[in-house]
Amino acid sequence: MRTKIIYVIVLGLTLLAACKRKCETDIVLPEPPKPETGFVVPSHFPAPSYDFASNPLDEKKFQLGRMLFYDPILSKDSCISCSVCHQQSRTFADLGTHQFSHGVAGQPGSRNTPGIVNMAWSPTFMWDGGLVNLEMQALAPINNPVEMAESLANVLRKLNRHPLYRPRFKEAFEKDSIDSQQMLKALAQFTVRIVSATSRYDEHAQGTNPLTGDQLNGLLLFKEKCSACHSGELFTDYQFRNIGLDSTSLIVSDLGRELVTGLISDRRKFKTPSLRNVAVTGPYFHDGRVSDLKNAILTHGQQNAPNRDPFVDDTTFKLSSDEVDKIYQFLTTLTDTKMMVDPNLAIHASDYAPYSIVPVVPCLHVH
């Protein structure tokens, strides 16, 4: 009997050891991301297009990405962080106080800041789709003279002499100095996790809480009238289309997709924007020309222009004010109030402790 007990104890200890023991020859794996902060494909979403294999999720890298996202160290005047134009409270669009966001020295940009949610699913970036990789996308605002106006080399110099970033990067990437690859991969670790899939509509799509009344009627009408382009659960087909806006363009002519392809057939085409959080991410369209959502719905198909998309032909796309109201009612269900307050996506002052990221010189021109 006693030997039996001993055997049971030995077996128990071995089991424990088997679980706990780290085999010396093995590479120690980073801890898997915690479910509440990790990247989860929502059950009703398609497969993401971001190449996670080239940048496996890692909590330390994610935290570094979050630090960088909220840190104006990326800009020339230490005033503009990614979050200045991509505010969590606005589902990572701008506050909507200006037609165009303002960069260093208060300079306005020339295109409307999009809400950067669900970027892991996006095959291209920017209104003209000129960028095809999320990691490399971050270079665009850093280099843009009216956004962060900073050189990559200078950003890396600043990060490498920073008492906090250097050791943190070393811990996460196991390299002696911070290079552009580490910085861009860290930022992507954060941006891929900005997922918007917990709106009222998502409860409907996942079958937990169906829409009713005007919202449901709005959805049915939306599917009939809008979903050819604003398709699927991401509410975009990621194609480039001209909806006739250039006929009343108030700003310097923007050739849109033609700037990328050089094709006249792509003139003034812009990417179909996702409509997730559309009710809280005005102003609307690539140039932010319309600030009211109902107006934005109506604007489709109202103007004619060469190269206009047949989907918004004024004979096929004609909405009564009642229909606009219904579609509007549905669109409000796409607002994801949960992600707006998701603490994992918010700035963490503790990330930077014992340092502060408040600029020494007040940045009066920001908003």
> 3-class SS at 102?
strand
Least spacing, CB of residue 363 vs other proteins, in Å = 23
Where are the strands (E) in the chain, listed by range?
240-241, 270-271
Pairing mode, strands 240-241 and 270-271: antiparallel
**Reduced to 3 states, what is the DSSP secondary structure of residue 87?**
strand
346 is written with which tokens?
């918010």
In the complex with other proteins, the residue whose CB is nearer, 42 or 130, is 130
Hey, what amino acid is at 191?
A: T
Give phi and psi for 130, each to the nearest 5: -65, -20
Residue nearer to other proteins on the CB measure, 71 or 135? 135
Residue type, 306: P
Query: The tokens 């898997």 sit on which residue?
Result: 32
Cβ closer to other proteins: 260 or 290? Answer: 260
Q: What is the DSSP string of 303-363?
A: S--TT--GGG-TTT----HHHHHHHHHHHGGG--HHHHT-GGGS--HHHHTTS--S-SS--
Shortest distance, CB of residue 208 to other proteins, whole angstroms? 34
Minimum CB–partner distance for residue 27 and other proteins (Å): 4
**Smallest distance, other proteins to C-beta of residue 14, A:** 4
Q: Is 303 exposed, middle or buried (0-12, 13-18, 19+ CB in 10 A)?
A: middle
What is the nearest approach in angstroms of other proteins to the Cβ of residue 270? 15
- Provide the binding-site residues for other proteins, judged by CB under 8 A: 3-4, 7, 10-11, 14-15, 17-19, 21-23, 25-27, 29, 51, 54-55, 130-136, 139-140, 142-144, 152-153, 156, 179-181, 183-185, 188, 259-263
Q: How far is the CB of 355 from other proteins (least distance, A)?
A: 25
* Residue number with CB closer to other proteins (33 or 42): 33
Cα(204)–Cα(225) distance, integer angstroms: 20
141 vs 288 by CB, closer to other proteins: 141
Minimum CB distance to other proteins, residue 342 (Å) = 25
Residue number, 3 or 356, with CB nearest to other proteins: 3
27 vs 361, beta carbon nearer other proteins: 27
